Amino acid sequence: MLDEMNTLLARNCSGPLYIVFNPLRGMIAAPPYLCRMNAKIFSLLLALSFVFTSCPPAPVDTVQARPALPTAPAPAAAPAENTLVKASKTPKNIILMIGDGMGVTQISAGMYSNGNKLNLEKFPVIGLHKSYSSDNLVTDSAAGATAFSAGIKTYNGAIGVDTDTMPVVTILELAEAAGLPTGLVANCSITHATPASFVSHNRYRKNYEEIAADFLKTDVDLLIGGGAKYFERRDSDDRNLSTELRSKNYVVESFVNTDMKDVRPGTDKNYFYLTADTEPLPFSQGRDYLVPAAKMAPQFLQKRDINNKGFFLMIEGSQIDWGGHANKSDYIISEVIEFDDAIGEVLDFAKKDGETLVIVTADHETGGYAIQYGSKMDSINGAFTSDYHTADLIPVFAYGPGSEHFAGIYENTAIFDKMKELFGL
């Protein structure tokens, strides 16, 4: 054995890698200073130390077990569903889900607070996008959504328009033009930046009444969101856009007379459900329609798809962002968990359907949110660096046919490019 070790030391001391024999661990990398020692003396010392220990050397290829984390409870079992990606197939339907302001920390806090599990864990493909806008490293939701909807970097505040305020065609408009049913679901006002950027073209995100009027220009099959005021009691004119939509093949209902859980829209007409006069309440204050809407929407659009071409649906978890602006961990966490429940409904549909690509991402992170030392799974101690958005890389989760195209790091605009290509539009 001594001869063997001497040979080993002699061979390796001249090169960059030094290997020695440790009786407890087998062959290990040695610090260079050992090579300055006489190989014989060193080997003798090692051999002596072997004599005084009773443990036999472990096999060379033994991998040491990782030490258990002192505070972590047993991790939840990995979901079995994450092998269902059907590679190199194109999807028939695409459901894009946007958690506004949902960075990695928001997801982490939601997951730990939800018993260390989220439906997001079922996604087999994960990528990252670069969220910056044309005029700011830190995007807003208007430029962020326009990147997804139209594939361009534009200025903060822009709704479906480019840096010269010229309208740009959106994925929803392309889908409509190709005869695919489309839908938008949000738990903010439907005229708010994220949903608006898929159908409206306006130089400024806060022109809610102008944005509302744009909903008459595209036959979106399904609309669910707040903002009744901008349609029915407008300051800028006397139009009632809900009445106009009814005369345009829409059924328009609202929270005033029908609960979301009870709506059973017929599929012979477009359907618009107004969930609030302006902005819907936070989940913690009783707003609970996103999950039933996420269950109903894909089924509705599939029935509307009489030509069997597929559909496009965007669902937004809008208020994760507002929890970030308010620097409130609890607000963020309850919104993330509700959004994840909506993701669960959509995944159930996609799993059964087998032809639906589900993409979940965010426009940007909000709050510069961090989980502080001292936090526990069920008690997140959050800290914030900002009451606005940040420029963090943003995760993208993909499931279903075409999902493999969403691995890697790319610009936020690539999400539009990939959806357009996969739809063949």
Which residues participate in catalysis according to the annotation? Answer: 141
Dist. CA 239–CA 235, nearest whole Å: 10
Which of 370-394 are b and which e, b meaning 16 or more Cβ less than 10 Å from the residue's Cβ? Answer: eeeeebeeeebebebeeeebbbbeb
Single out the segment in contact with Mg ion by CB under 5 A; choices: 20-28, 187-195, 254-262, 268-276.
187-195
Report which DSSP code applies to 56: P
106, 141, 302, 334: which one contacts Mg ion (CB under 5 A)? 141
Q: Does 392 bind Zn ion (CB under 5 A)?
A: no
Instruction: Indicate the residue whose CB is closest to Mg ion.
Output: 194
Nearest alpha carbon to residue 131 among 290, 321, 282, 311: 321
Q: Does 316 bind Zn ion (CB under 5 A)?
A: no
Single out the segment in contact with Zn ion by CB under 5 A; choices: 202-210, 220-228, 321-329, 378-386.
321-329
Question: Bridge partners of 224?
Answer: 185, 273
Q: Which does 318 bind (CB under 5 to 8 A by kind): Mg ion, Zn ion, none?
A: Mg ion
* Nearby residues of 16 by Cβ (< 8 Å), 6 or more positions away: none
Residue 324: CB atoms within 10 A of its CB come to: 32
Min dist CB 366 to Zn ion, Å, is: 5
Binders of Mg ion among residues 337 to 396 (CB under 5 A) are none
Min dist CB 31 to Mg ion, Å, is: 55
> Do 343 and 97 touch, CB atoms closer than 8 A?
yes
Dist. CA 283–CA 319, nearest whole Å: 9
Q: Give the three-state DSSP class for 220.
A: coil
Min dist CB 364 to Zn ion, Å, is: 7
**Comparison of 98 and 175: residue with beta carbon closer to Zn ion:** 98
**Comparison of 180 and 188: residue with beta carbon closer to Mg ion:** 188
**Comparison of 100 and 341: residue with beta carbon closer to Mg ion:** 100
Binders of Mg ion among residues 309 to 338 (CB under 5 A) are 318
Residue with tokens 């929803």: 172
Min dist CB 317 to Mg ion, Å, is: 9
**Comparison of 176 and 321: residue with beta carbon closer to Zn ion:** 321
Q: Does 194 bind Mg ion (CB under 5 A)?
A: yes
**Comparison of 177 and 388: residue with beta carbon closer to Mg ion:** 388
Min dist CB 402 to Mg ion, Å, is: 25
**Comparison of 187 and 356: residue with beta carbon closer to Mg ion:** 187
Single out the segment in contact with Zn ion by CB under 5 A; choices: 119-127, 130-138, 320-328, 409-417.
320-328
Q: Is 122 exposed, middle or buried (0-12, 13-18, 19+ CB in 10 A)?
A: buried
Residue 177: CB atoms within 10 A of its CB come to: 11
C-alpha radius of gyration, the chain, whole number? 28
321, 338, 340, 365: which one contacts Zn ion (CB under 5 A)? 321
Single out the segment in contact with Zn ion by CB under 5 A; choices: 48-56, 210-218, 301-309, 316-324.
316-324
Which of 99-115 are b and which e, b meaning 16 or more Cβ less than 10 Å from the residue's Cβ? Answer: bbbbbebbbbbbbbbbe
**Residue ranges in contact with Zn ion by CB under 5 A:** 321
List of residues contacting Mg ion (CB under 5 A): 100, 141, 194, 318
